[in-house]
Structure 1
Amino acid sequence: MLRRDDPLTEHAPRPIPVLEAVAGCVPPRVVSNEDLPQHWETSDAWVRRRTGIGTRHWAGEGTSTGDLALTAAEAVLAKCATRSVDLVLVTTSTPDHPIPAMAPALAAKLGLAGVAAFDVSAVCTGFVYGLATASGMIASGIARRVLLVAADVYSTLIGPDDRSAGVVFGDGAGAVVLRAGERGEPGEILGFDLGSDGAGHDLITVPGGGARDRAEPGRFGEQDRHFRMSGREVYQHAVARMTESSLAVLKSAGWTTADVDRVVAHQANARILSSVGSRLSIPDEKILGNIERVGNTGAASIPLALADAVARQEIHAGERVLLTAFGGGLTWGSAVLVWPEAD
């Protein structure tokens, strides 16, 4: 049961959210640029030049977002001293069902029935929003340990003739465990910057399939149940918002861009990542990512990139890390933390 066992007072130290572990997974099917549908008329050189992507993973028949979420959750809990958590959060844009939320079912499959569980929806910014939600629960004293899982299966949303989105997106899941810690402890999450602009809600969207579709019969067709993105406008918004948000969260933490050891941004497009790094004056060697191997995995992209960086020993304890993301809504967000001893 989710509750605050120890009411906070002005004299009691506020719990500090600390990152304990990270893990990720992708489905086994690898789709290279040469494997993309022939009628898209692409080539490996064309896709790499436009996106920086060489391969992506697509879930096969019978594999859902919930399946990937469960695999990532099991992997991250296996890295922890205990499987016990007070709260399970799932962030996704491709839930297994419109109702109910995915988190309660995931908690039950993990043997955590009875704990609080709910979903967070912020498209590709979902992981940062979820991280802020989990951190707030810990800082308020409501939860001591939180499991946050980000998972998306975008291959189920791409229209059969949508080359522009089809070459970009892959499927995957990433998970982290946060716990209550102390100020200055490795893994400490130092701050967030979050924002949105609903005036741009139609720039990244799946128009049909929801309550609006049912409320206005005849307005939406089958094609409206597929993913749509206005690429040029999204590019401009993504670069500007992630840059601004990164600078804001660095300022709140008392850091400058020179203090940052590692940057892990939402793996949207290699050109976006390069532009954000350039605007922040952060050298390429500090920017970590795996977009070339997995593509854009939606909300899962940041934890997947973190898990990959750990596996490749590209990130080390004590390093100052900046996370930043942009997604539909429009939404954006950034976070800063000190990397823990995580494997």
Structure 2
Amino acid sequence: MELPFGVNFIGIGAAAPPVALSNHDLTALVETSDEWIQTRTGICQRRIATPDITLTELATTAAQNAITQAKIDPTTIDLIILATSTPDDLFGSASLIQSKIGASHAVAFDLTAACSGFIFGLVTASQYLQTGTYRRALVIGADILSRWVDWTDRRTCILFGDGAGAMILDAAPTNENALLGFELRSDGKLNHHLTLAFQPEPQALVHTKIAQGKYQPIYMNGQEIYRFAVTQVPEVITKTLHRANLTAADMDWLVLHQANQRILDSVAQRLEIPKEKVISNLANYGNTSAASIPLALAESINQGKIKPGHVIATAGFGAGLTWGSAIFRWGV
């Protein structure tokens, strides 16, 4: 079914905490080495939010940068979607961001799909625009995973960093539609391989009990997540290419969730995409979850590497387990 409108992607912005935690720094916390981490992950350092930095602050800065690049008035934004697993408030942080950027006419809500969150948010916002419900949307991917890392667990503490990225989407005529295809997936049977789970502690309440407690640190079965990513991500990108009537050769850039350099290399190899077409910045930021794709996009666009008209294939994957791909043409 052909939708009445298309989508254009007109602005992007990013933000990261100023403090960097290097691999050498981590050797003071756990038994590891710079060589061990780089060889297995490709990460050299990660940005870490100090206690005075909030997720709302990072997301707001990224959003303001996207608004500036797009040269728009924030009051013209109709919809804000914040993709995050680490809001400042469990009731949601999107509305506070809406207020801080001055998007007084926008409806705002949080969306949680872990490291796939930005792709899920991008596709969700696109549907609102393509059906004519809204004309302009802001999608933000932001996470502060350092809050939830066990810094004594060398399997996970070496991986994660903090950051935010944001993108402005506009409704457009169908013949100018820049969203060329997408595919979203979930499989709850694999949920237990990557979790940030609530640990209930029974508390007596009159003549019954309730569950109170706290969230446990991030747990990840690295081998299973790697196996999942290198098989499912190429498949979902291939399906998205098919939906878009494109081949891998038609892509200018591949921008994957920045989880592990070995995953990026393996996916590119399976799709027969040259390394020079693969965007990677995880060496400097680590795995920033929902922020990783827009962070990588923003950096490459601001450097002039990605240019207007370029076709970009993106794919996110992570807890849930969730994964998805979107292919779009950058710029108007």
Interval containing the TM-score (normalised by the shorter chain): over 0.9
Provide the residue aligned with 1:111 in structure 2.
Answer: 102
1:39 CA displacement: 3.6
Q: Which runs of 5+ in 1 are unaligned?
A: 1-9
One-letter amino acid matched to 2:109: F
Q: Compared with structure 1, are the counterparts of its residues 103 and 219 closer, same or farther at alpha carbon in structure 2 (3 Å cutoff)?
A: closer
Q: 2:78 aligns with which of 70, 86, 98?
A: 86
One-letter amino acid matched to 1:301: S
CA contact (8 A) 2:317 2:324 kept: yes
CA contact (8 A) 2:78 2:105 kept: no
Q: Which runs of 5+ in 2 are unaligned?
A: none
Q: TM-score, normalized by length of structure 2?
A: 0.93
Q: TM-score, normalized by length of structure 1?
A: 0.90
Question: 1:307 & 1:220 partners in 2: Cα distance?
Answer: 40
Q: Compared with structure 1, are the counterparts of its residues 184 and 75 closer, same or farther at alpha carbon in structure 2 (3 Å cutoff)?
A: same
Provide the residue aligned with 1:18 in structure 2.
Answer: 8
1:32 is the counterpart of 2:5: no
1:215 CA displacement: 9.2
What SS does the corresponding residue of 2:156 show, helix, strand or coil?
Answer: helix
One-letter amino acid matched to 2:293: I
What SS does the corresponding residue of 1:59 show, helix, strand or coil?
Answer: coil
Provide the residue aligned with 2:139 in structure 1.
Answer: 148
Question: 2:138 & 2:263 partners in 1: Cα distance?
Answer: 29
Question: 1:88 & 1:215 partners in 2: Cα distance?
Answer: 38
Provide the residue aligned with 1:45 in structure 2.
Answer: 35
1:95 is the counterpart of 2:80: no
What SS does the corresponding residue of 1:303 show, helix, strand or coil?
Answer: helix
Number of equivalent positions: 326
Q: Compared with structure 1, are the counterparts of its residues 253 and 328 closer, same or farther at alpha carbon in structure 2 (3 Å cutoff)?
A: same
CA contact (8 A) 1:239 1:272 kept: yes
1:122-201 alignment runs, 5 A limit: 122-185=113-176, 188-201=178-191
What SS does the corresponding residue of 1:61 show, helix, strand or coil?
Answer: coil
One-letter amino acid matched to 1:152: D
Q: 2:62 aligns with which of 52, 72, 77?
A: 72
Provide the residue aligned with 2:274 in structure 1.
Answer: 283
Question: 1:335 & 1:115 partners in 2: Cα distance?
Answer: 24
1:81 CA displacement: 2.6
1:336 is the counterpart of 2:327: yes
Q: Compared with structure 1, are the counterparts of its residues 214 and 72 closer, same or farther at alpha carbon in structure 2 (3 Å cutoff)?
A: farther
Q: 1:120 aligns with which of 96, 101, 111?
A: 111
CA contact (8 A) 1:104 1:113 kept: no
Provide the residue aligned with 1:3 in structure 2.
Answer: none
CA contact (8 A) 2:315 2:324 kept: yes
Provide the residue aligned with 2:216 in structure 1.
Answer: 225
1:240 is the counterpart of 2:231: yes
User: Which stretches of structure 1, 4 residues or longer, exceed 4 Å deviation after superposition?
Assistant: 212-222
Q: CA RMSD in A?
A: 2.1
CA contact (8 A) 1:87 1:143 kept: yes
Higher mean displacement: 110-119 or 131-140: 110-119
What SS does the corresponding residue of 1:267 show, helix, strand or coil?
Answer: coil
CA contact (8 A) 2:10 2:330 kept: no
Provide the residue aligned with 1:203 in structure 2.
Answer: 193
1:160 CA displacement: 2.5
CA contact (8 A) 1:289 1:309 kept: no
CA contact (8 A) 2:203 2:211 kept: no
Higher-strand-fraction structure: 2
CA contact (8 A) 1:90 1:150 kept: yes
1:37 CA displacement: 4.8
One-letter amino acid matched to 1:94: T
